[in-house]
Structure 1
Amino acid sequence: MLSEDLSRIARMHGVEFGHMPTVPQTVEDVYYPQFDAAVRAEAAAMAKHYEVFYSLEKSIRELVAQTIEAAEKREDWWASTRVPSNIQADVASRIQKELDAGVTRRSLDELDYTTFGELSVIIAANWDIFGGLFNSKKAVEKVMASLNALRNPIAHCSPLAEDEELRLQLTVRDWFRLME
């Protein structure tokens, strides 16, 4: 009861009496404050762009998977002729590299190992099934190329220039407009 009373008083007054074992601090708590404030502010500003791109890329992967699964009428479509053999080989190499590194696989789905550019190639190579979803193959290729260029600074920890922030917003709008 004494310990609970001390804890309540400590919370009320914002003090620490040292009567309870301390909770070990996380790496973030210990090391993050040591980064320069300007770098932390830049990271916070870039986080919103990463979140947009993460969501977009995941949704495009889902669209690709669902569209090909529906066309092939099977879930194990990856090894089909729908995915160019060079992309299958590159993905197999990335998976093996991850396994050889001894880290946890990021996914059991091969599509999660494709690059953004490879997603564009898969869509273009299967225009017979994607053409009904989009209004122009050339526009899809153009928007995907633009998104791929915008992805690089986001994925490689470089700030987006003000014009590129605007370009990202417009290009995301363009992506969704392609499906109208």
Structure 2
Amino acid sequence: MSHAIDIDGVHEKLFVLRNLVFASRSYASEENIASDIDYGYGFFDDYWGYLKVILSNYIIEVSVKMRMIQEHCGNDEDLTEFEIDALNGMSIGAIKEGKFDLTLRESFNKVIHSKRATIEFIDDESGKFKYWDGNFNLYGFRGKEEWHLELSVGCWAKSVASYLTALEDNEKTINLGQDWS
């Protein structure tokens, strides 16, 4: 018996994550984030706080649920094929420190086991405002070895959504949450 997992809710979180990546620059421009107008008003602090909480919560929730879904699916060889298709040549991030293969499964594990997470902002070309760069930096240890993964949220969310859709389309999640399974 597995837990019942709201798969539509996972898709929703992935949709919101991708939109946050695409909206960051426009929102920061519209709200004058970290601009001369912002000084003393704390708009940047508010934006950073809201963004970091949403990113953390959604990325954690998606990662935990996806790992649980993978456990439900077992060691099916199809899962590797579905992941390769979902990645479709995209890079879901960059390994800045440490040695590991960057698969979707490993990205979920890194989210779950990270000890620190940060987001960074870059200056608009005009220098008038700052916006989130679309990456989520995760840091941790595997044994005594430090690692740092810069997760590209937009590509990651797109790949995870494609992977989850493949699991659904191929009936890998059909009995998820059923008490009789």
Same fold judged by TM-score > 0.5?
no
**TM-score, normalising length: structure 1:** 0.37
Q: By percentage of residues, which structure has more strand?
A: 2
Q: Point out the structure with max Rg over C-alpha.
A: 1
Larger relative contact order (CA 8 Å, sep ≥ 6):
2
**TM-score, normalising length: structure 2:** 0.36
